[in-house]
Amino acid sequence: MPPTKQGSVLMGFNKNVAKFSTKTMAAAAKGGIVTFVHNNNYTKDQLGECFERNSEGMLKNMAIHELALLVTFYGVTTDTIAEVVADKEYSSCQTLVGPSSGKEFTDFDKLKFTIKTKEGKQVSVAADRCGGDDSVGIVTDETTGKETFRYSMPDEEDLANIPGLEKRCPGAMPYFYVQDPDYATLKERIAKNCFDGTPAEGVATIDVAVETLKVAEYLTPLLQKQLLG
């Protein structure tokens, strides 16, 4: 990945610099297939409101951070994708009524898929609106499918910081407390880049963001068709 030049438009995809993702990719450099898992802590009865408020859809909302990882580090673009396969046993696509508008919204509440690129790279993404409040990086052996590495966000260090953050900033969504250290890293790298041109390692640029949105728009109908027929 080329270094970020001073003056580039930089984006706030914090998972590009998060411990769980960077450590997972480092482990996979020795061999293995990566799966990025993203969980939110909605309850089933909140999904209608969730679908309505995030009507752009899961891939342009919740899982956009994982897609940014794929674009930044795996060379995934609409032109390089060779194959996309949904995990039908894991995934779920529903049409629910939004409580405010009374309109129907079709979206994924759970989704897992694997992308293979024309260059032979393979990476998977899993997202679950009702799966909890963490993100996980997993590496599996390419031959046996056995898990060889796992790292979660928050880790023990992050968990220890949460009570203090809750006291300082009460009422925030839980994921802001969980991801606070990664947002701090992101802001530090962007600030240094603006100040003296230090390369903002791993930070997504506006070009990455645009391509990420294109990938999300490309994948959404394709995966819905695989799941709904």
CATH number of the domain that residue 57 is part of: 3.30.360
- Give the domain extent around 95: 14-154+204-223
Domain assignment of residue 189, yes or no:
no
Domain assignment of residue 46, yes or no:
yes
Q: Give pLDDT, residue 173.
A: 79
Is pTM beyond 0.85? Reply is: yes
Q: Give pLDDT, residue 2.
A: 47
The stretches of the chain forming alpha helices (DSSP H) are 19-28, 47-53, 64-74, 156-168, 174-178, 180-196, 206-228
Q: Give pLDDT, residue 7.
A: 58
Domain assignment of residue 159, yes or no:
no
Domain assignment of residue 171, yes or no:
no
**DSSP assignment of 9-39, as one string?**
-B---GGGS-HHHHHHHHHHTTS-EEEEEEE
Picking from 202, 199, 165, 205, the residue whose alpha carbon sits closest to that of residue 181 is 165
pLDDT tens track, the chain, 229 positions: 445 555 589 999 999 999 999 999 999 998 999 999 999 989 999 999 999 999 999 999 999 999 999 999 999 999 999 999 999 999 999 999 999 999 999 999 999 999 999 999 999 999 999 998 889 999 999 999 999 999 999 899 999 999 999 999 999 877 788 889 999 999 999 999 999 999 999 999 999 999 999 999 999 999 999 999 8
Domain assignment of residue 190, yes or no:
no
Q: Give pLDDT, residue 178.
A: 85
Domain assignment of residue 161, yes or no:
no
Query: Could you give the number of structural domains in the chain?
Result: 1
d(CA 220, CA 76): 15
Domain assignment of residue 27, yes or no:
yes
Domain assignment of residue 64, yes or no:
yes
